[in-house]
A and B are shown apart, each in its own frame.
Chain A
Amino acid sequence: MRRRRTARWSMRVLYVLVFIAIFGDFIANDKPIWCKVDGQQFFPVLKQYSVDLGLSGWDARFLQADWKDQPYEAVIFPPVPYTATGLDLRNSNFRSPFGKQQVAGWRWRHWLGTDRLGRDVLAGLIAGTRVALLVGLIAMGVAVFIGIFMGALAGYFGDDRLRIRRGQVPALLVGLVLAVFYAFMAPPSGWGIGLRLLVFFAILFLFFSFGKIIPGKWAARRVFVPMDLLVMRSIEVFNSIPTLLLLLAVVAVLESSSIFYVMLVIGLVRWTGIARFLRAELMKVKKLNYIEAARAMGFSEGRILFRHALPNSLGPVIITTAFGIAGAILLESVLSFLGIGVGGNSVTWGSMLSAARQAPSAWWLALFPGLAIFVTVTIFNLLGEALSESV
């Protein structure tokens, strides 16, 4: 009962975080949500989106002066009238939340203080929420995708369920070498990752099909593919890569340091846990009678796997994902604390923490982002625990 209550509260906090992540621009922004100038109505926050997409430009009058100094007839500012990256030069150099601030009134106060450049901490926290949740979601999305694929292969097929012609084995090996060459080494650097993957799998498929028509008695014999062995060994390889070092290496190679590459790499490293859990669960489920009944009724392997075995084995995957999101958010904070991955002008919880390092007396720079990380990671862990009890 107590567990259920904590889970319910974690869910509520999560809803609030998701709300902040989605509507962050309407909560903290230096532009008004709505304003009336010279009898004309404007929605600058909404307009920002279309300007960012290049669909329209700003009215000339707004470019001439700061948003706060426009001659409004009526105006509604967001609750926090600052952006995360906006500099308030009058309040630069670490203004404390309780100290004296040079602002026009309580409405313009920096409630959680400012950093060296006069950026508002509260606005930074709100912008950081979006980054943190996105990192958790995308990194684990990638991890879940790869993890389910690999775990399903290993758990369902094991070492003695998937059979191919022996002729396909050398064909596949040759295909693999060629596919790696033509998809990743030979093509010009202009190719996107999607195109490269397409070429890679196309070549593999071509050689796989070619293997079917290799004649001869030797090639025609059917052999087992030790799927479990292959997947487990690759899991061991991935587990032996230190994530942080890999990330440092990747970031050093990439010209543009983007948060999305960080998410991708976290996902590429974190799939192993999901694959292992799914494999164990599938090994249990595939021995159950309803799977055997499905085979007796002549269902295809794909149908059994996707309709009968997988849906009944996803419980542990969901639990690991909840814990994994917490881990990914923490890892991203560590990285941006070290200054890796995030660009110079984006604000994340980790980068705010690292700002605190320069001025230990500015406690608000350490406390509030630290609390935000703590709360987010904790609720995902609590959710994971609650899930593991209910599954």
Chain B
Amino acid sequence: MSTLQKAEIPNPSQPPVPNPSRIPIFPFLCPYKSCMHMLTVKDLKVVYETDQGLLTAVRGLCFELAAGEVLGVVGESGSGKTALSLALMGLLPPNGRIAGGEVRLRKTDGQELRVDTLGPVARAKLRGREMAMIFQEPMTSLNPVFRCGEQVAEVRRFHFAEGRKVAKAKVLELFRRVQFDDPGRIYRSYPHQLSGGQRQRVMIAMALAGNPALLIADEPTSALDVTVQREILLLLKALQKDWKGAMVFITHNLQVVRQIADKVLVMKAGEAVEQGSMEKVFSQPQHPYTKQLIADSRMPLRKTPQVARTQSEPLVEARHLKTWFPSVKAFFGKTLKWVKAVDDVSISVFPGETLGIVGESGSGKSTLGRSLLLLEEPLSGEVRYQSRNLATLEKGAWKKVRKDLQIIFQDPFASLNPRLAAGHAIMEPMAVHGIFATKKEREAEALRLLKLVGLEEGHFHRFPAAFSGGQRQRICIARALALQPRFLICDECVSALDVTVQAQILDLLMHLKIELGLTYIFISHDLAVVRSISDRIAVMKDGKVVELGKAEELFRNPKHPYTKSLLEASVAGI
């Protein structure tokens, strides 16, 4: 840590410096600098050539990293985090290039090398050897037709010209280092035979195979479940101890950065708005944007005043609901094996409450939500709305009930028809259900809804492609509200959004709940989000509800062992 503090020099592009006495007079002659730093980035500028002209993705970025240090790069999507990592690796797409500044890397043999001016062949030689990268998606970053071990061994054989046997021994050693209990089995496995966490560990082993001077991890844990996330972070931290390289850790999640980084770089719109040691940035954030980020990531409670609800009649009720999907079928279509996505679940939601459903991916929480709306046909059991069984309703009655029960999906990019302007997307359900008699009235209502969800009148004729993720999610909410529903299922509806936008959407949802008297089921894998919004919480595992209780009680005093492990693993540190 001490070298860190000494090595820290101010960023020339950042005017506000807390302590002027710490600025070295001749920064480039600074005695402890040149010998220590693995990676030096000075005034880096990355541009993309697009149809609209030159787009600057990163500008004026300066930082240094010593051996064994981790730099956490934080920022929202579109802030230039990924452009930075691609530029460092020399993997920019054909229309992107480094337009200014310099990147210097100290190789493992101690020699310092200016990387950004190297030709493509020389850079390719560096990759995998001197610099390595871990990607976000462990599903797609391994080649599915090769065994995992062979893919890692390839790095050794390519860069070190090792023989098959030597390489294999080295890879088994690496697998042991990334904490595989049975390296031999992993070596022989194909990627699809491993879980997400295991695959990510293979990726880490592959990145370490070249013993690189620089490791870039681009959102390595974002695609993983909380429990696995924690496992991978602990592993990276442990590896950091005995491996003397520098690491750049890119993420949108502040809590993750807090766990692993020594230095933090906060990016916004391609610029570093704040950088410094981890403790300093978190304890005394200078820039308003950093303050906002830290505040938003804390997830304030957004609860409506409690009403005695449990005594009243439930609004929506599931009784012994089973939604199974056939996984193995016999020749004549008889199902031999089932995937039990929802297995005998009974829950009730009372008017005016928010029921949170948490669980890891594959626990069946989304399927439960969709089964409640009969978007997925349950195999058995029943769903009741105001004590009426939905499955036995006549067509006309079902259509009337349909509009009371609405859903908002996770992916704001896939939930709007790209060929329908925002206003028309909101008007269509009203037209189908005949909610207003004339087109004029529907238009007026659509405009009112747009304003209600915080959009403007001018957005009426715009197409989804012209909106950001948060704005699209607002349109989805407005579209669902157009039917004047009483019950809304939010299926991971903020998971794809940046923290600040997440906070805004959650506030909007709570505001609407009070104003319109809605009842929510809030499905999420993010415990912090669910906690901040729910009155009661159901924990799902393997298609079953393992625990159901009042939110605070469940967090304070979890009963089921799975709930306990989930709470422990939650990096949000609840």
| Closest partner residue, chain B, to A297 (CB atom) | B429
Between-chain CB contacts (< 8 Å), 13 pairs: A288-B415, A289-B409, A292-B409, A293-B407, A293-B415, A293-B480, A296-B375, A298-B402, A299-B428, A299-B429, A299-B432, A308-B417, A312-B417
Chain B 413-437 per-residue mask, 1 if CB under 8 angstroms from chain A, else 0? 0111111100000001100110000
Assess A289 versus B415: contact at CB under 8 Å? Given A297-B406, A297-B429, A297-B432: yes
Contact with B along A271-311 (1 / 0, CB 8 A): 00000000000000000111011111111100100011001
A residues near B414, Cβ cutoff 8 Å: 288-290
For residue A289, which residues in chain B have a CB less than 8 angstroms away from its CB?
409-411, 414-415
Are B402 and A312 closer than 8 Å at their CB atoms?
no
Q: Which residues of A contact B405 (CB under 8 A)?
A: 296
Interface residues of B (CB under 8 A from A): 370, 373, 375, 399, 402-403, 405-407, 409-411, 414-420, 428-429, 432-433, 476, 479-480, 483
* Contact among B373, B411, B419 with A296 in the assembled complex (CB-CB below 8 Å): B373
From A292, A298, A312, contact of B432 by CB (8 A): A298
Distance between Cα atoms of A294 and B410 in the complex (Å) = 15
A299 to B375, CA, bound (A): 12
Q: Within residues 289 to 344 of chain A, which ones have a CB less than 8 A from any CB in chain B?
A: 289-290, 292-300, 303, 307-308, 311-312
Min CB–CB distance B407 → chain A (angstroms):
5
A293 touches B402 (CB 8 A): no
Which of A288, A293, A299, A303 has a CB less than 8 Å from the CB of B476? A293
Known contacts A292-B409, A293-B479, A312-B417; 17 further A-B pairs (Cβ under 8 A): A288-B414, A290-B416, A290-B417, A292-B370, A296-B373, A296-B402, A297-B402, A297-B403, A297-B483, A298-B399, A298-B403, A298-B483, A299-B428, A299-B432, A303-B432, A307-B428, A312-B418
Residue numbers in A under 8 Å from B428 (CB-CB): 297, 299, 307
A-B pairs, top 10 by smallest CB distance, nearest first, are A289-B415, A298-B402, A289-B409, A297-B429, A289-B414, A288-B414, A290-B417, A296-B407, A311-B419, A308-B417
Give Cα A312–Cα B483 distance, bound, in whole angstroms: 24
- Expressed in whole angstroms, the minimum distance between the Cβ of A197 and any Cβ of chain B is 32
Which B residues are in CB contact (< 8 Å) with A295? 375
Contacts of A294 in B (CB 8 A): 417
Nearest CB of chain A from residue B568's CB, rounded to whole Å: 33
A138-182, CB under 8 A of B: which get 1 and which 0? 000000000000000000000000000000000000000000000
Q: How far is the CB of B263 from chain A (nearest CB, A)?
A: 39
Q: Knowing A290-B414, A290-B415, A293-B476 touch, does A298 contact B373 (C-beta < 8 A)?
A: no
Task: Kindly state the interface size class of chain A when it binds its partner.
Answer: 10 to 19
Cα distance, A307 to B420, chains bound together (Å): 9
Collect the chain B residues with CB atoms within 8 Å of residue A308's CB: 417, 420
Residues of A within 8 A of B416 (CB): 290
How many Å lie between the Cα of A182 and that of B83 in the bound state?
A: 68
Chain A: minimal CB distance from B521 (Å): 13
Q: Are B403 and A293 in contact (CB under 8 A)?
A: no
B406 in complex: contacting residue of A290, A296, A307, CB < 8 Å: A296
How many Å from the CB of A296 to the closest CB on chain B?
5
Which residues does chain B contribute within 8 Å of A299, judged by CB atoms? 428-429, 432
Q: Taking the nearest CB of chain A, how far is it from the CB of B172, in angstroms?
A: 41
Q: CA–CA, A311 to B432, complex, Å?
A: 19
Most buried by A among B373, B414, B419, B483: B414
Q: Which residues of A contact B433 (CB under 8 A)?
A: 297-298
Tell me, in angstroms, the Cα distance from A300 to B398 when the chains sit together.
12
CA distance A300 to B428 in the complex (A): 12
Bound Cα distance A12, B108 (Å) = 58
Give chain A residues whose Cβ lies under 8 Å from the Cβ of B407. 292-293, 296
Q: Which of A164-208 contact B (CB under 8 A)?
A: none
Q: How distant is B208 from chain A, measured CB to nearest CB, in Å?
A: 37
B373, B410, B415: residue with the most chain A Cβ atoms closer than 10 Å? B415
Complex: chain A residue closest to B418, CB-CB: A312
Assembly CA distance A308 to B464 (angstroms): 14
Instruction: Say how far A222's CB is from chain B's closest CB, in angstroms.
Output: 12
A84 to B432, CA, bound (A): 57
- A312 to B419 CA separation, bound complex (whole angstroms): 7
Cα–Cα, bound, A289→B417 (Å): 9
Nearest CB of chain B from residue A160's CB, rounded to whole Å: 10
* Chain B nearest Cβ from A165, distance in angstroms: 15
Q: Which residues of B have CB within 8 Å of A288?
A: 414-415
Report how far A296 CA is from B406 CA in the complex, Å.
Answer: 6
Q: Which residue of A lies closest to B326 (CB)?
A: A160
| Alpha-carbon gap, A290 to B415, bound state (A) | 4
Contacts of A293 in B (CB 8 A): 407, 409, 415, 476, 479-480
Rounded to whole angstroms, the CA-CA distance of A308 and B417 in the bound complex is 6
Q: How far is the CB of B376 from chain A (nearest CB, A)?
A: 10
The chain B residue with its CB closest to the CB of A295 is B375
List the A residue with the shortest CB-CB distance to B482: A297
Residues 244 to 276 of chain A near chain B (Cβ within 8 Å) = none
Smallest beta-carbon distance A164→chain B, Å: 15
* Smallest Cβ-Cβ distance to A300: which chain B residue: B432
Q: How far is the CA of A297 from the CA of B375 in the complex (A)?
A: 11
Tell which of A292, A294, A303, A311 has the most Cβ of chain B within 10 Å: A292
- Which chain A residues border B406 with CB–CB below 8 Å? 296-297
Closest A residue to B401 by CB, please name it: A298
Which residue in chain A gives the minimum CB-CB distance to B403? A298
Nearest Cβ distance between residue B547 and chain A, in whole angstroms?
28
Closest beta carbon of chain A to B555's beta carbon, Å:
30
- Which chain B residues lie closer than 8 Å to A292 at the CB level? 370, 375, 407, 409
In the complex, chain A residues whose CB is within 8 Å of the CB of B410: 289
Complex Cα distance, B375 from A296, in Å, reads 7
- Closest B residue by C-beta to A290: B417
Shortest beta-carbon distance from A316 to chain B in Å: 16
Taken together as a complex, chains A and B put the C-alpha atoms of A303 and B476 apart, in Å, by 19
Complex interface: chain A residues within 8 A of B429 (CB): 297-299
What residues of chain A lie closer than 8 Å to B483, measured between beta carbons?
297-298
Query: Within 8 Å CB of A311, what residues of B?
Result: 419
In chain A, what residue has the closest Cβ to B408? A293
> For the complex, what is the distance from the CA of A311 to the CA of B420, rounded to whole Å?
10
A292 to B403, alpha carbons, bound, how many Å? Answer: 14
- A308's nearest neighbour on chain B, judged by CB, is B417
Of chain B, the residue at the smallest CB distance from A293 is B415
Determine the distance from Cα of A385 to Cα of B156 in the docked complex, in whole angstroms: 41
Q: Considering the chains assembled together, what is the distance between the CA atoms of A299 and B416 in angstroms?
A: 15
CA distance A300 to B373 in the complex (A): 16
A157 to chain B, nearest CB (A): 15
Across-interface contacts of B399 in A (CB, < 8 A): 298
B479 contacts across to A, CB distance below 8 A: 293, 297
Assembly CA distance A311 to B424 (angstroms): 15
Contacts of A297 in B (CB 8 A): 402-403, 406, 428-429, 432-433, 479-480, 483
**When chains A and B are docked, how far (Å) is the Cα of A294 from the Cα of B402?**
11
Most B C-beta atoms less than 10 A away, residue of A295, A298, A311:
A298
Q: How far is the CA of A358 from the CA of B487 in the complex (A)?
A: 80
Bound Cα distance from A290 to B416, whole angstroms: 5
CA distance A312 to B409 in the complex (A): 19
Please name all residues of chain B whose beta carbon is closer than 8 Å to the beta carbon of A290 when the two chains form the complex. 414-417
Considering the chains assembled together, what is the distance between the CA atoms of A364 and B218 in angstroms? 64
For residue B329, give the distance in angstroms from its CB to the closest CB of chain A. 11
Q: Please, which residues of chain B bring their CB within 8 A of the CB of A300?
A: 432
Q: Report the bound CA distance from A320 to B407 in whole Å.
A: 36
Residue of A nearest to B409 (CB): A289
Residue with the greatest number of chain B CB neighbours at <10 A, chosen from A293, A294, A299, A307 = A293
Nearest-neighbour CB distance to chain A for B405, whole angstroms, equals 8
Report how far A297 CA is from B405 CA in the complex, Å. 8
Give the distance in Å from the alpha carbon of A292 to the alpha carbon of B405 in the complex.
Answer: 13
Residues of B within 8 Å of A307, CB to CB, are 417, 428
| Measured CA separation A297–B407 after assembly (Å) | 9
